[in-house]
Amino acid sequence: MDFNIAVLGGDGIGPEVTAEGVKAMQAVGRAFGHNFTLEYGDVGGISIDRHGTPLTDGVRELATSADAVLFGAVGGPKWDDPSAPTRPEDGLLALRAHLNVFANIRPVKVYPELTDSSVLKPHVLEGVDMVVVRELTGGLYYAQPKGRTQTPQGIVGVDTMRYSESEIERVLRVGFELARGRRGKLTSVDKANVLETSRLWRATATRLADEYPDVELEHALVDACAMQIVLRPASYDVIVAENTFGDILTDEAAILAASMGLLPSEAGARTPGFYEPIHGTAPDIAGQGIANPCGSILSAAMMLRYSLGLTEEAAAVDRAVQTVLEQGYRTADIATAGDAATGTTQMGDLVANAIG
């Protein structure tokens, strides 16, 4: 089968890890007889430098016409000037909105081989298998008004938290459906004791629960959820949260897996789906060849499964990552004392060979 994939590496370690995700796809192509046509584009800081904007019309069209998008990361100190008219992250936000990928699914898996690499005690990690559904195209990151204005009292910064009932309902349904196919428990996260949008969120979740009698719904305030993720993570099955809360909670949940470099994500689950590791650009290690590519490789596996319908091939990628970790290979972020760190390219080669 033939597939068209848009590859948007972005900034920092984004291109480095995305190259290994591509390598895994190419290994799948050789092993299973598929052809992946790869089209590359600039986004984020590199796009600002080359084109004067974080997202060009050409890249919008490239992403729209692809079967799926494999994304790296955007941003970095070079573009952190708060007075800049545009930032790399604007390109990512615009692309998500353009593709209408409103539900970001972030699985959190603990590999038994890596429990010693986590800062948490091994018994806390027993049985951890959760999915976080993050609303991706609304809330503080998108709503207007937004900006800074000069007032007699000084500069005032404004961000707006806004959600419609329909925006909340559609992402909650993703959470309910996922929970229905897993262990049957959904945790809806909000801040209903303070925020009006969260009160609407909670009311909508409660209303929808009547349609899913086979799913146990619990409500959790975001601060309580953040604490329980590190105290009792195995108690969670599926978590659903608005944009900002989901962003923070999944970064926190990365410590369960031992590193953000291991966690993939998908948004869209259709054509074109949007696939990216949850980590950022890590400018402190960019260009050194030591970044963990597993998040990108596993994002490619999610792409194969959800957007391209290649479930057997996706399972082969998942098994390959598992095999390489079982063999003791560790990138610097998950290496423990005495481990020899494996580089980005070598890790990608090992996984590709295991697929073959």
Catalytic residues: 141, 191, 223, 247, 251
What gap in Å lies between CA 69 and CA 21, rounded to an integer? 12
Element (H, E) at 256: helix 243-257
The helix/strand/coil state of 279 is coil
Contact by Cβ (8 Å): 186, 206: no
What are 148's two structure tokens?
A: 């800074």
- Alpha carbon distances (Å) from 246 to 33, 121, 132, 270, 333: 37, 24, 7, 21, 23
- 8 Å CB contact between 7 and 40: yes
Burial-class residue 119 by CB neighbours within 10 Å (0-12, 13-18, 19+): exposed
3-state SS track over 155-199: EEEECCCCCCHHHHHHHHHHHHHHHHCCCCEEEEEECCCCCHHHH
- For 151, the enclosing helix (H) or strand (E) is strand 147-151
Residues comprising the chain, all counted: 356
- What the block records as the tokens of 183 is 């262990």
Torsion sign across C-alpha atoms 306, 307, 310, 314: negative
Closest CA relative to residue 240, chosen from 178, 321, 159, 302: 178
β-strand pairing of 273-275 with 68-73: parallel
Q: Are 37 and 2 in contact (CB under 8 A)?
A: yes
Q: What crossing angle do the helices spanning 57-65 and 88-99 adopt, rounded to 10°?
A: 40
